[in-house]
Structure 1
């Protein structure tokens, strides 16, 4: 392996659009929907090397995130600040006060609250093979859902302090360490973090208990999203979703409240407005035609709701990105 392959690459970016924020993270196939009202502001710090990646993302308002975890990497999410907003860990699929093991090479969906701040660490399977027995390694690779572990308070505080400092201190290390030493040092530290989380012991001497996340409420929301993304669901109402899933409205309402922190009517409207925004940004088709395709037939109502969610009109969105 040559020195170039062992070098660490640091990048940082900021964005006022969720689509640009989602695209800024290399190696992750993801899509963001802004589901809270106001002007979006997001920032990303990313440090990537041979077999490792650490990134910190900060989002000022609630965003629905759809992502596929990287190929042949084990990933964990460490919350620095995650607001509950009425949702629950089990339904949201992410632990707000502990560590989340993200599913291996699988899709993940969750809705972060306002002022979210978190760090994600990814480590390649090749780095972990010499350190884990086959049983533990296979268990990590077979995880097709999120798992959470609640650490002792002091250990969580330590991780919340140390991981952001890795990003902040990379320039200082570059002045005193070779690229190979920096990369190997970070490899060893991150591998130790994951090994301690997965194979370590709690304060009572027992093996740490990883509990599965995601429940029936999360499943219902995912099925609802799949339906409205289908051809027959583009213009579907909340009642149409209930009929398609064969569930009572109160069940749908409760599921969305637990997973997203908001009512299904508001959430689904926000998702459709995001679909419109993406097409406004990527095509020259008349805005009214795009809006109608997603069920917004009244121009006045569409304009009011679009501005309420994004803090600008659809024509301003298109003009701003044409200028850029």
Structure 2
């Protein structure tokens, strides 16, 4: 059994392991925070906070939890602004579930001002505009992929940029703390139950507060809800070989130009559909309880040519569909060079 190891100072470790080992990426930046700042600037405008007391040591570790990314660390004070320009240029649209262990933060968005102290739990949508200011803080962040949480994306969007409160949210806080404590000894064999419980706790937490959210919060921008509808339609119709821009425009009653704008940061509608299909196929192939033939899985997700499916699969992941079942591959191909920042690592999840 292989466990995660902590990095040494100034050491960057990037790992996409196979056969049961837990994926891990760690960074310790001792003085100038160059990598941390580069990571933040890659999807938002980042500046040092005026409250910086001179301590610039930033430490964080990131873990691949199969559809989730778990990041924990200690950060120097900073200001972060995600604008409309960033939304257009960045394809990062995850939700960030933030738990503060120490320090404080202020998040401003179209829904008002969200303030947090130690023990605060809140959800921020990276698909919306916001500004964030923190003191020196110790934190845990769970980055939630929209495709992985597609079945209740509307509920998460309703809860975004607002604090999560109540009994279930307190239980969720304790669960996240337990992940932070146990994650060094965790293996991929144990992840399904961990991620299942986290998803269910999060879903219950935001659902029980849904009435408050809908009454007191301004809606997210219309483009966010529209793309959520588009994603839901794609997810519900992956089995159809006819799924494409034309079918989407008709179902959503929008123009091709508008549809193209919605998926511009994803490389276009066709590219998004192809990646969603391949991710669904990969998930099915890695499920030991799914005994369908590889060709049957491909056909069930809208492919009419097994050869084309294999080519597309290898192009995206870096290995063949048959290798998934042989070796329990769980992510994209191992990148040969050290990633420039955590964002590059995140995009591989």
| TM superposition score normalised by structure 2 | 0.44
Give the greater-gyration-radius structure (CA): 1
| TM superposition score normalised by structure 1 | 0.47
